[in-house]
C-alpha cells in the first residue's frame, strides 16, 4: 500500500512538472510572438488610400500623385481605391469602419465636415471618428461674375445687393456643398440677399455664367482661371485670406470685406485615418506624405491642379475640422437643409 501511494505521488509530481514546462513554453512563445509583433516596423504591407469620389477628380489626382511618389521613393506600395457615392459618404464610412492600423487612409476635403451636418442623425462624427494625418493643399473658390453684370468689385456687389435685395442669383452645386456654404456664410456676414440656383453640373453653371444667364458663381480657381484671363468672366474675390498665385490680380475676400467672426474657407485637401490609430503610426504616415509634398514632380502636379501646398500641424488640422463641422451644422439649421 505504501509503495503504491509513493508511486502515485511520483507520477503526480512528474505530471505537474510537465504541465509547468508546457505552460512556460507557451508563455515564452506568446511573449516572443508579442515582441516580434511589437517590433514589426511600419509599414510592412500595402497602404490603401480611399478616394470618396470618382477617378479624375481633384481628390483622386492628389491622392494618386502622393501615392505614386511614396511608392517610388520608399518601396512601400500605396494603392488608390475609389469609392464614390452619397456625396463622399460611402467612401468616408468605409474608412470609419476600417481597422485603425494605418493601412487605410481617407483623402478628405471640406465635404467630410459638411455632409454629416446635413443630417439630424449624422452617419459619422468627423471630429471623433478620425485622426488627422496631414493637411496638404488648398484650392480657393473664386466669386466669379458674368461680364454683362456691370459690377467690378466686391464692395460694388454688396452695395448693389443691398439696394436690390433678391434680384441677384448665384449658382451652386446644391445643399451641403462648399460652394453653397461659403456663399451663404458670406451673404449672412454681409447682410445681403442673393438667391441660390442649384446646378447638377459645374460645366452648365459655368456656361450660364459666361453666357450671361447666371450673374454669380463661386467656383474653384482651375475651372474659371482661363475664363477670367480671357475676359469671359470677372473675378471679384477669392474665398481665402490671401490671393491665389494663379490669379494674382483677384483680391482675397479678406482684402475687400471684413466682419466679426467671418473667415473665408478655401477648398482644402488632407489625409485622415480611423480614430485610435497609434500616434507612432500617424507620425510615420505624416512624414511619408510631407516628404512626398517636397518632391519636384509633386509640386509641379499641384500647380497644374491649381492647388497651393500648405503645411500645418495636426493639432491645427484637428481644430479646423472641429470649427468647420460646427459652422456647417449652424448653417444647415439656418437654411433648413438638415434632414
Cβ burial of 152 (10 Å; 0-12, 13-18, 19+) is exposed
Model confidence over 205-216: pLDDT tens digits? 999 999 999 999
Task: Give strand pairing partners of 145.
Answer: 216, 234
Instruction: Tell whether 130 and 271 lie within a shared domain.
Output: yes
In the chain, how many domains are there?
2
Show which of 200, 221, 256 is a domain's final residue: 256
Give residue 309's domain range. 47-138+267-335
If phi over 0 gives left and psi between -120 and 50 gives alpha, with beta otherwise, what is residue 308?
beta
Mean pLDDT of 83-106: 96
Instruction: Tell whether 145 and 252 lie within a shared domain.
Output: yes
Residue 25 lies in a domain: no
Residue 205 is predicted with a pLDDT of 95
Average pLDDT of the chain is 89
Model confidence over 127-184: pLDDT tens digits? 999 999 999 999 999 999 999 998 999 999 999 999 999 999 999 988 778 999 999 9
Mean pLDDT of 254-260: 92
Instruction: Tell whether 116 and 199 lie within a shared domain.
Output: no
Close Cβ partners of 10 (under 8 Å, ≥ 6 residues apart) = none
Instruction: Tell whether 61 and 79 lie within a shared domain.
Output: yes
Instruction: Tell whether 134 and 149 lie within a shared domain.
Output: no
Residue 81 lies in a domain: yes
pLDDT band at 32 (very low <50, low <70, confident <90, very high): very low
The H or E element that residue 74 is part of is helix 58-74
Q: Supply the pTM of this predicted model.
A: 0.83
Instruction: Tell whether 124 and 68 lie within a shared domain.
Output: yes
Helix ranges (DSSP H) in 133-177: 154-163
CA 37 vs. chain centroid, Å, equals 32
pLDDT band at 39 (very low <50, low <70, confident <90, very high): low
Instruction: Tell whether 125 and 69 lie within a shared domain.
Output: yes
CATH of the domain at 100: 3.40.190.150
Residue 27 lies in a domain: no
Show which of 232, 256, 280 is a domain's final residue: 256
Instruction: Tell whether 235 and 148 lie within a shared domain.
Output: yes
Model confidence over 8-30: pLDDT tens digits? 344 445 445 554 454 444 444 44
Cell numbers for 304: 497644374
Instruction: Tell whether 151 and 233 lie within a shared domain.
Output: yes
Q: Is the Cβ–Cβ distance between 274 and 129 less than 8 Å?
A: yes
Instruction: Tell whether 123 and 146 lie within a shared domain.
Output: no
Above 50 in pLDDT, residue 36? no
Amino acid at each position: 500500500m505504501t509503495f503504491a501511494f509513493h508511486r502515485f505521488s511520483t507520477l503526480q509530481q512528474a505530471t505537474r512538472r510537465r504541465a509547468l514546462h508546457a505552460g512556460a513554453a507557451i508563455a515564452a512563445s506568446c511573449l516572443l510572438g508579442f515582441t516580434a509583433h511589437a517590433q514589426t516596423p511600419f509599414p510592412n504591407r500595402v497602404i490603401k488610400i480611399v478616394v470618396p469620389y470618382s477617378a479624375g477628380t481633384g481628390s483622386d489626382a492628389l491622392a494618386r500623385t502622393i501615392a505614386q511618389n511614396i511608392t517610388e521613393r520608399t518601396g512601400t506600395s500605396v494603392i488608390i481605391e475609389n469609392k464614390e457615392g452619397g456625396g463622399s459618404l460611402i467612401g468616408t464610412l468605409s474608412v470609419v469602419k476600417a481597422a485603425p492600423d494605418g493601412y487605410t487612409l481617407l483623402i478628405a476635403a471640406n465635404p467630410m465636415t459638411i455632409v454629416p451636418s446635413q443630417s439630424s442623425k449624422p452617419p459619422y462624427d468627423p471630429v471623433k471618428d478620425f485622426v488627422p494625418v496631414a493637411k496638404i493643399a488648398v484650392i480657393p473658390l473664386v466669386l466669379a461674375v458674368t461680364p454683362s453684370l456691370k459690377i467690378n468689385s466686391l464692395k460694388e456687389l454688396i452695395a448693389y445687393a443691398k439696394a436690390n435685395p433678391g434680384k441677384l442669383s448665384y449658382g451652386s452645386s446644391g445643399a451641403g456643398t462648399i460652394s453653397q456654404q461659403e456663399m451663404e456664410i458670406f451673404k449672412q456676414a454681409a447682410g445681403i440677399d442673393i438667391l441660390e440656383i442649384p446646378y447638377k453640373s459645374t460645366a452648365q453653371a459655368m456656361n450660364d455664367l459666361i453666357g450671361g444667364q447666371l450673374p454669380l458663381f463661386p467656383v474653384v480657381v482651375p475651372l474659371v482661371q482661363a475664363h477670367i484671363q480671357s475676359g469671359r468672366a470677372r473675378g471679384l474675390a477669392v474665398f481665402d485670406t490671401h490671393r491665389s498665385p494663379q490669379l494674382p490680380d483677384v483680391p482675397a475676400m479678406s482684402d475687400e470685406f471684413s466682419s466679426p467672426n467671418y473667415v473665408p474657407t478655401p477648398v482644402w485637401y488632407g489625409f485622415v485615418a480611423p480614430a485610435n490609430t497609434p500616434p507612432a503610426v500617424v507620425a510615420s504616415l505624416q512624414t511619408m506624405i510631407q516628404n512626398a509634398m517636397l518632391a519636384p514632380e509633386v509640386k509641379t502636379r499641384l500647380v497644374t491642379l491649381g492647388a497651393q501646398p500648405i503645411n500645418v500641424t495636426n493639432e491645427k488640422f484637428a481644430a479646423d475640422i472641429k470649427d468647420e463641422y460646427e459652422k456647417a451644422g449652424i448653417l444647415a439649421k439656418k437654411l433648413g437643409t438638415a434632414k
